[in-house]
Chains A and B, each alone.
Chain A
Amino acid sequence: MTERDDLVFNEMLNGAEVRAAYESLERWHKSMPDEMRTLKQSEAENLFKRVGITFAVYGEGGDPERLIPFDMFPRVFTDSEWRKLDRGIRQRAAALNAFLADVYDRAEIVRAGRIPEHLITRNDAYEKAAIGFRPPRNVYSHIVGIDLVRTGADQFFVLEDNCRTPSGVSYMLQNREIMMRMFPQLFLENRIAPVDGYARLLKKTLASVAPQKCDSEPTVVILTPGQFNSAYYEHSFLADLMGVELVEGQDLFVEGDFVWMKTTEGPRKVDVIYRRIDDAFIDPLCFRPDSMLGVPGLMSVYRSGGVNICSCPGAGVADDKAIYTYVPEMIRFYLGEAPILENVPTWQCARKDEFKYVMEHLPELVVKEVHGSGGYGMLVGPAADTSTIELFRQKIVENPSNYIAQPTLSLSACPTFVDAGIAPRHVDLRPYCLVGETIELVPGGLTRVALTEGSLVVNSSQGGGVKDTWVLAE
């Protein structure tokens, strides 16, 4: 697709002028000879290969063994830009958790007529087994990944929320690690907020939601589907950083009131399970009976207060694309505050008048499946040919409630290394907000970049890469 450069917000350049936050990077890249850049780029790739980080972010499919391209040109936020994002992200994470606590209790937001009941109760992610039970501290989603895009100096939009088990944080940590190793000078010249506290904060968050029956230092584990899962690297990386055990379903068992981990010194009680497997698979005696990945009886122990599961089963009902539209309403309803971060305007194809608008404007819009993720099953109107658009029109007509539409946003662009030097490429941002006894947020997050010129799809399965993300101290 073609687009007018003057409509795209360039994060480094204001016209011909370099923004203050990028001055040091401007000098850095200009003084770097081409051979040096090639050398550093291959050094970075080798480092990524050596640590074994090759998975596709966000469970978006694609070749799990494919290395996601790393772009060495960092993305920079100023302190004041970040302060606003920080407040907005925390606000959103708090509201999403308040929503979950409500829909699994009295559903006041439905009684108040702010959200239609059927969007909740008929949602596949709404879990009957979670109703009428309060998890520790009333927190359901302990790691909230909020995907943000920028369209102007002060314009940020939330693209989607991820309340289940958002992945990609290992890229955030490794991108920084590798940049520090390769370009230590940059970190002396700039006051960059550290991100390496993430693992400590994650462990603190998980320990803070230990169940009532836990009367000593809580034992936290990460439950992985196993080494064939595309994000296995991240599971083992986080377990290492936190100093906790990485387990598979077969390493755990239920006996009496608790869940136990098999160890060489005999069974050890487990208090908090950070699970990286989907709801449907965590307990074959409650959900899918054919699951080999879960722990039989786990839900009984959870419901009787013997263990906590992070995120809680059923947390996904808050991050559905049809529910997304109502997040600003949740913020007003539960927190009594005005939303700090805006939603992208969204048309629900299930609503007659909005359906009509979508049908009339299809070539300008982005259309997504309500339950889809990862840039699959998605139409980017301006980039699609007529037959693709007509194919989507047919799909929407057949099942309108399965689709939402949004305007095609002009995503901001960041300088990115290309063959001919640097060029602007579109980016998004996923910060990882931790919710437990307190709400914690490491400055920055994971920046994804669309490496193809003009492309708006940043997913790694669609040719996206990643960048280190800086928040500069004042």
Chain B
Amino acid sequence: MRLSVRHVTRYSFDTPARGLVQTHKLIPSTCASQNILSWTVSVGDAIRGAAFRDSAGDMVETISVRGPVDEMVIEVSGEVETTDLYGVLRNHRETVPPTTYLRSSRLTRADTALRDLSASALEGMEDDSALNRAHALARAVNTAIAYVPGETEEMTTAAEALSGAKGVCQDHSHALIALAHAAEIPARYVAGYLHSGQDATGEASHAWAELFVPGLGWVGFDASNRCCPDERYIRLCSGYDAQDAAPIRGILNAGVEEHLDVSVAVMSQHQQ
């Protein structure tokens, strides 16, 4: 499927900021399931520099703006040819040993409830394949946490999301990572884009989890949508959790009020 993305992030500041530094992971990598046909990240007159491909295979770039700054606009647009590989990440260049992703962060740490959910989801599956066990964990998350926007926020932990039984894709992903860790399965957070059909302005920024399945490697699981990433998905970057995998990370001077406006549109070629 040929997908086009337009992702605009606009920061405006009540009091002009003295300066601005951001680290971006906004460039998807080519792998078997996605071929990047064109991709541009425009940052206005910000000073670019210090770009590198990190150990997880993501392009990282730090930009800076000399103050005073009252607005910062980041515009991402591109075209990607995608293929459905049932969530399997193939031909993706990275050097992090998968067992590194057995480490939990504050957001993905499993409490007793998450550990219990993991164990009950896998009950009787001792002889099942690793892939089936991973699917079982993703289903358990989808059942335990209802998709309800507005109930959780950026710093909500997996444990909190489970106890509230509501959340969005970020919470589903954190919970799935926690369940996987409890079962000694390496797992990580993936940020990306999703083409969700007719309503192109809907859930276009998306997140899911990848679990490491021996024999297959990393496999994506979208617990929110009860599926594995297919040709509607574009994979942007990964990390231990949403914070580590954030496509944009920035620092402002203290006391500056920031307003954020994000619009993302993912469309398939025949809709345009």
Chain A residues in the interface with B (C-beta under 8 A)? 107, 117-118, 121-122, 124, 126, 128-133, 253-258, 284-286, 289, 296-297, 299-301, 303-304, 306
Contacts and interface: CB of A to CB of B under 8 A. Distances in A.
B29 interface: no
Interface string B209-247: 000000000000000000000000000000010010000
Contacts of B95: 131-132
B62 A253 contact: no
B48 interface: yes
Contacts of A304: 49-52
Nearest to B248: A285
A303 B54 contact: yes
Contacts, number: 97
A128 B249 contact: no
Nearest to B251: A296
B99 interface: yes
B112 to A, nearest CB: 15
Nearest to B49: A256
Given A297-B23, A300-B61, A117 B97 contact: yes
Contacts of B102: 118, 121-122
B155 to A, nearest CB: 10
B55 A131 contact: yes
13 contacts: A117-B99, A121-B100, A121-B102, A121-B103, A122-B100, A131-B95, A255-B47, A286-B249, A289-B249, A296-B21, A296-B251, A300-B61, A303-B52
A297 B54 contact: no
**Centre residue among B50, B54, B61, B96 by max chain A CB count within 10 A:** B50
A118 B19 CA distance: 42
A285 B249 contact: yes
Nearest to A307: B50
B22 interface: yes
B64 A297 contact: yes
Contacts of A285: 21-23, 62, 249-251
Chain A at the B interface: SS class: loop
B256 to A, nearest CB: 14
Size category, B interface: 20 to 34
Contacts of A301: 49-50, 62
B64 A254 contact: yes
Given A122-B103, A285-B21, A303-B60, 12 more contacts: A121-B102, A121-B103, A126-B100, A128-B240, A131-B55, A131-B97, A253-B64, A255-B47, A255-B66, A285-B251, A297-B22, A297-B50
Contacts of B240: 128
B52 A300 contact: yes
A59 to B, nearest CB: 23
Interface in B10-34: 19, 21-23
A284 B47 CA distance: 19
B11 to A, nearest CB: 15
B269 to A, nearest CB: 34
Contact of A257 (B49, B54, B66): B49
B81 to A, nearest CB: 28
Given A257-B49, A289-B249, A300 B103 contact: no
